[in-house]
Chains A and B, each alone.
Chain A
Amino acid sequence: MTDTVLTMTDAQLSLDGNAGRVDILKGITLSVQRGESLGLIGPSGSGKSSLLMLMGGLERATGGQVTALGHDLTRLGEDALARFRREHMGVVFQSFHLIPTMTALENVATPLELAGVADAFDRASAELDQVGLAARKDHYPAQMSGGEQQRVALARAAAPRPDILLADEPTGNLDGTTGQAIMDLLFGLRDRHGATLILVTHSRELAARCNRVIRLRDGQIAPEQDAKAAE
């Protein structure tokens, strides 16, 4: 039996900018199955990251419906969305977005603490071991390289064992070799924890590692969305 973790029905996103209202997403309809890995590709400005933000409840749809694990994200308030993310989602960004005043270990432990996990630090420590940063736990982000920071971000996203892992161009700021290592880690974590992975990327190569790929163009799903056959 297929288990749908996320559905979007005619989801729209319009933002007010200096030059007037801009329609970013123009009616996206899709569904994502549990355990699936979905790649979102498309040219710059096509709405990939915005779509990911809608899925994570970080942005509120201005039209249509976004449902994740049975919750209508368009109807949840900001704090309810935060609680939902804490329990079900992990997010990895292109620019890592670690909190600069916290060490690696504290950054990873924070979502676990927010979720009330008793052994937050032990689990965070184990997670950092998993991503190969056992020796860097007490370092602040500014003391680490980009690759190391992204590994901390990965550990932070994976530590609460989220149902859905959202990754927004996680290798965009990294060199090829480091990026490759990060992707190995990301897919490794997904495989180990059985999370659903939704990955925004520019790279066809990376997208090819996903079960399914959706191509966005000008805020809409391009017709050839299923061009990449699930392998």
Chain B
Amino acid sequence: MTLRLATRIALRELRGGLSGFRVFLACLALGVAAIAAVGTVRESINAGLQREGAVILGGDASIALTYRFATDEERAWMAEVALEVSEIVDFRSMAVTETDRALTQVKAVDDAYPIYGETMLEPDVSLVAALDGDGSVPGAVMDRVLAERMGLGPGDSFRLGTQDFTLSAILVREPDAAAGGFGLGPRTIVRTSALENSGLLTPGTLFDSQYRMRFAEGADLVLIEADARTSLEGAGLRWQDRRNGAPGLTEFVDRLSAFLVLVGLAGLAVGGVGVSAAVRSYLDSKTSTIATLKTLGANRRTVFLTYFIQVGALTLLGIVLGLALGGLVPIAFAPLIEASLPVPAEFTLHLRPLAEAALYGTLTALLFTVWPLARTEDVRAAELFRDAGLSHPGLPRPVWIFVTFAILGALVASAATLSGLVTIALWSAAGLVAAFATLIGASIAIRLIARRLARAGWLRGHTTARLAMGAVGGPGSETTSVVLSLGVGLTVLAAIGQIDSNLRGAIARDLPQVAPSYFVVDIQNDQLQGFRDRLTEKPGVETVESAPMLRGIITQINGRPAAETAGDHWVLQGDRGITYSTDPPEGAVITAGTWWEADYSGPPQVSFAAEEAAEMNLSLGDEVTINVLGRDIAANVTSFREVDFSTAGIGFILSMNPAALAGAPHTHIATVYADEAAEAGILRDLAQTYPNITAIRVRDAIDRVSEVLRSIAAAVTYGALATLLTGGIVLIGAAAAGERSRTFEAAVLKTLGATRGAILANFALRSALIGAAAGLVAIAAGAAAGWGITRFVMDTDYVFEPISAFAIVVGGVLVTLVAGLAFAWGPLAARPASVLRARE
């Protein structure tokens, strides 16, 4: 009965139209739209990856091996289960011409490649024809960027190792490129058989081999995978199939979009400020209606339900608008988005992200409206006879406080569960709550300071400034809503600015100071001494460090699958470098246990990096099984040592006693520390003397990493800008809501003799003051967040970055000025008589 009655009254009340709810709808719709859009793009990419899984992977399934080719037994198994098998070899090398040399990621293929998809070349020839070459010299195709850098065109020659190639065509599209992940050099494709005399695939060389398989229609991938794991157990193989053709990419897309959804939630929270303000203002205007309803006998429940239904209907409308916007905009812009994505995407309406966005929208709207709605219970019939609004001080009934916390908990739990980033989601929620608390505290402080300043002796006579201070600090001030709405977006931007500049600074500015000039891989045993001697004698070379290097996968810890002890720690993801050494590395700090004797030849022992070992719950004496070149080596952990990866020097998680790895074919890696001026000469000399080795210029690698970081920062910045846009709408809402009081103030000031210029200056100054205050608070909060993340998460030194900080204050001032002044013209133009008469 109560519900029906409340619904009837609510519907009658809604006849008044939605004009007072534009900001409410805009805030909610925009917040929901941002989250829905991010989710839609994510699902579209994932659907695209799923659809094209086989093409991206290069087969229905792939078996990857580190450092070796498949054995006869493994080949036999593949031949049995697959209709077709293609062998791919992937490694880094140097492409060399008479005048130039550059790092390249080589893919050596057979004639079955690609099993799925097509390679696109320029000129338009088949890959087989291109790799055939001119009969005397084998052919190759190369990324345009690499060919241009080396000044090569079709028909020109270059060398890989000791083998000459003719560049037959430019590689325009590599069908399985997306599965390749992060590579340091652009791609070159050659035929594997052409590398026989290159000296590049000798035992111990660092390369990956992949065997892509095509199965019969309807083959059961689950069964085949299970068979592979049983039949080829202990081979150290990595299995992938078309169900998830690019797991690294999918994970990256999922993680980035989950993070963007969290940023979107910040935007929704900012929108919540606008939603809350709109509901408060609406309910304020309904005080007399509520009092009348109570006079007529309506109970608390009826009144609450009446307005809950109205707000609920508007929430529904806002969410539907947001879902339509967030779901349809990516589809409308699909061709544009697809063109800028390096991966396939299938743009269509995806229900999951829309449901997710709707859930977030509903919970946020509830969170920000329950409190003002609860206040309707406190309106008494007697208020009809008083000029009082709903802005009673004090808290609502305890049950509503409990409900508020329950909704907040549900929101945080949803974000943690749906994003899959539990820790980041919880930290973000805590950060957001802390940011809101800080901003509320700051706005109270700003108002107190402004009130003090308005009364300060030295400001007397400076009417404009004093009036502005009075408005910032006085009753009915817009300070809190502006600082809140603008502050959260600016804080996120400030934090991004600080983290980005510090992180990139650490990588691009500080790292080259301590990092080596070159990282050299694939140095053969018989080349090592000559390599070291040659470089040490070279002018400009400061130090050369080298270490033997093998690669292996940790498969078991104490006889149980490694993941059972160490979870999904990154050390277990794929293969890791392993070295051996008689003595501890120079300057190494052993934190626990002891290093083996120089002549130790007992059961294998391993020294583990201390920090990673702690994260993986390893203890001294644990047995770690490492698969090296298909052979399992079980070694006892006998010591932990500190490994510093921050200098980009040689550092191994795993170091074993030499006897443990005796006989395993391997190469050496080296770091060369040299003057920047000498770098080019060193590379030239190395490439000529040791054609098989690969030298990676650390500065180039740093540039690549910086580039990736810049792209990620840009994506997050767009997210923060969406938050700021929502903040802008709240700001406009606040400015619009304050227009009436500004009109009155302008009329009174004109009556007292103020010119329009003086009034405008007063309005502008107060907007600028609040904007600057919001900016300053954001910088403080952003710098604190930046410091925390830089110092404790990224483990680098923090330096305050002033340029983005300054831009944020200026941005804050500009945004509030624009919003404030946009609503200043009405008050300035209004005739005082008509304004004041209307108030009589």
Contact = CB atoms under 8 A, between A and B. Distances in A.
A168 B288 CA distance: 29
A120 B477 contact: no
B475 interface: yes
Interface stretch (B75-83, B412-420, B460-468, B570-578): B460-468
Nearest to A159: B752
A134 interface: no
Interface in B593-634: none
B466 A113 contact: yes
Interface residues of A, number: 44
A37 to B, nearest CB: 21
A140 B475 contact: yes
A59 interface: yes
Given A58-B832, A100-B741, A114-B753, A49 B463 contact: no
A95 interface: yes
A58 B756 contact: no
B466 A49 contact: no
B144 interface: no
Interface in A58-97: 58-60, 78-79, 82-87, 91, 93-95, 97
B271 interface: no
Given A99-B748, A100-B475, A101-B474, A58 B831 contact: yes
Contact of A85 (B753, B756, B834, B839): B753
Nearest to B766: A101
B476 interface: yes
A102 interface: yes
Interface residues of B, number: 38
A175 to B, nearest CB: 16
B332 interface: no
B833 A140 contact: no
A94 B751 contact: no
A109 B457 CA distance: 12
B758 interface: yes
A118 interface: yes
Contacts of A106: 454-455, 466, 470
A111 B753 contact: yes
Contact of B474 (A100, A110, A115): A100
B753 A97 contact: no
Nearest to A173: B840
Contacts of A5: none
B757 interface: yes
Given A109-B460, A118-B461, A120-B460, A102 B474 contact: yes
A136 B215 CA distance: 90
Interface string A186-211: 00000000000000000000000000
Contact of B470 (A56, A85, A102, A120): A102
A150 interface: no
B754 interface: yes
A149 to B, nearest CB: 13
Contacts of B748: 97-99
A112 B190 CA distance: 88
A115 B840 contact: no
Nearest to A138: B455
Contact of A58 (B473, B754, B758, B836): B836
Nearest to B474: A101
A93 B757 CA distance: 24
Contacts of B454: 102, 106
A115 B461 CA distance: 9
B745 interface: yes
A101 B470 contact: yes
A103 interface: yes
Contact of B471 (A101, A114, A168): A101
A161 interface: no
A121 B460 contact: yes
Interface of A: 49-50, 53, 56, 58-60, 78-79, 82-87, 91, 93-95, 97-103, 105-106, 109-111, 113-116, 118, 120-121, 138, 140, 142, 156, 160, 168
13 contacts: A58-B833, A58-B836, A59-B831, A83-B755, A93-B840, A97-B747, A100-B741, A106-B455, A109-B460, A114-B752, A114-B754, A120-B460, A138-B455
Given A83-B755, A85-B751, A110-B752, 7 more contacts: A58-B750, A78-B750, A97-B836, A101-B471, A102-B470, A113-B463, A121-B460
